[in-house]
Chain A
């Protein structure tokens, strides 16, 4: 009983303090203070991440894979141009969206299906923004603070958006599967899904200009699961980017 009396008041003080900080932080009242502290800790985080995150040397097989991936992207781009050409024939005036603005960001933290980047609200980054690397989709910003942002990778289970295949224009929904898996789901049986076909975003931008722009490469189809008894067919997608090798990514700002 004596021991309880000695630690219980201290417990109460600190738990109340922690709850109060959590409450005020949720209301955004510590924005300035956390921003200042983050500025101080970001270099240390970069250093820690650099020590424990070493990039391996590329083998010839990896180089060939990369070359193959870039060729697949070229093919997807060509298909896209063909479609665009057809569309231009149909209408005289085409509205061009404003050029995409890319903000380079360094990865300073990487957990299983999310990354932390060194850009936050002070750099104009907003929750819902999209992260890309060389036209490849990396993920979506889910949380922003003064100088940091948390990004859910496209493989994260919370990720879901519409996409289409570049070659056959089959529509479907991309769902993160966790552990590096991506599923192209809800594709109707009448659509054709082909192995090695590139899957790109369909475009899902909200009124504030945030969201997935069209034509960003999600990955390529590695296997197709089609059953006559099912309503939809699915395909397993593999990203063309090895997320674990990334150190720099780009934030796609508002597309207004």
Chain B
């Protein structure tokens, strides 16, 4: 599973760094945070952000700051509320994508956030299915 997650992260970073403005890495981190629910997501967010900045020719560290804060907010939220649910994934991916698109100046933020939320739901659904059928900790 770790291998699959790593491959998916690399694909998302390259896609976002070259051909799309969809915040794919952001939804990846959202799903990873829901699956793991611990501090191991912070180094992943940090590394993914640096790599993405490098590919997109942005100032190094900018995406890392955004991703780390995003993961932090989700982890804070999960102390009081259930995050392992479709409504939360929909809300978090849409809000996160909106802020991300506006922050990095991408056009069509509403449509992009909608598409991104749909992708997040699909990934989250796949994760849930895997967990339910194979009974392993992701």
Contact = CB atoms under 8 A, between A and B. Distances in A.
A21 B15 contact: no
Given A22-B61, A150-B57, A49 B68 contact: no
Contacts of A186: none
Contact of B17 (A34, A37, A45, A178): A45
Interface stretch (A68-76, A82-90, A111-119, A221-229): A111-119
A245 to B, nearest CB: 14
Contact of A21 (B61, B106, B107): B61
A59 interface: no
Contacts of A10: 39, 42-43
Contact of A22 (B17, B60, B78): B60
Interface stretch (B24-32, B45-53, B83-91): B45-53
- Counting contact residues on chain B (CB < 8 A from A), the size range is 35 or more
Contacts of B79: 3-4
Given A14-B46, A48-B14, A148-B57, A112 B107 contact: yes
- Counting contact residues on chain A (CB < 8 A from B), the size range is 35 or more
B14 to A, nearest CB: 5
A143 B57 contact: yes
Nearest to A15: B68
B69 interface: yes
**Of A10, A20, A37, A41, most B-chain CB atoms within 10 Å:** A10
Given A11-B68, A45-B17, A108-B18, A22 B59 contact: yes
A69 to B, nearest CB: 26
Interface string B94-117: 000000000000111000000000
Given A26-B59, A48-B15, A52-B15, A18 B38 contact: no
A112 B21 contact: yes
A181 B21 CA distance: 19
Contacts of B15: 48, 52
Contacts of B106: 111-112
A41 B54 contact: yes
B119 interface: no
B2 interface: no
A15 B62 CA distance: 11
B19 interface: yes
Contacts of A144: 57
A91 to B, nearest CB: 44
A30 interface: yes
Given A6-B38, A14-B45, A37-B54, A109 B18 contact: yes
A157 B108 CA distance: 13
A19 B65 contact: yes
A92 interface: no
A30 B39 contact: no
**Of A7, A26, A38, most B-chain CB atoms within 10 Å:** A7
Contacts of B14: 44-45, 48
B103 to A, nearest CB: 13
B35 interface: no
Interface string A145-177: 100111000000100000000000000000000
B62 A22 contact: yes
8 contacts: A10-B42, A14-B46, A21-B50, A21-B60, A22-B60, A30-B60, A38-B54, A48-B15
Interface of A: 3-4, 6-7, 10-11, 13-15, 17-23, 25-26, 30, 34, 37-38, 41, 44-45, 48-49, 52-53, 108-113, 116, 143-145, 148-150, 157, 178-179
Given A48-B18, A48-B19, 4 more contacts: A11-B68, A11-B71, A15-B68, A179-B107
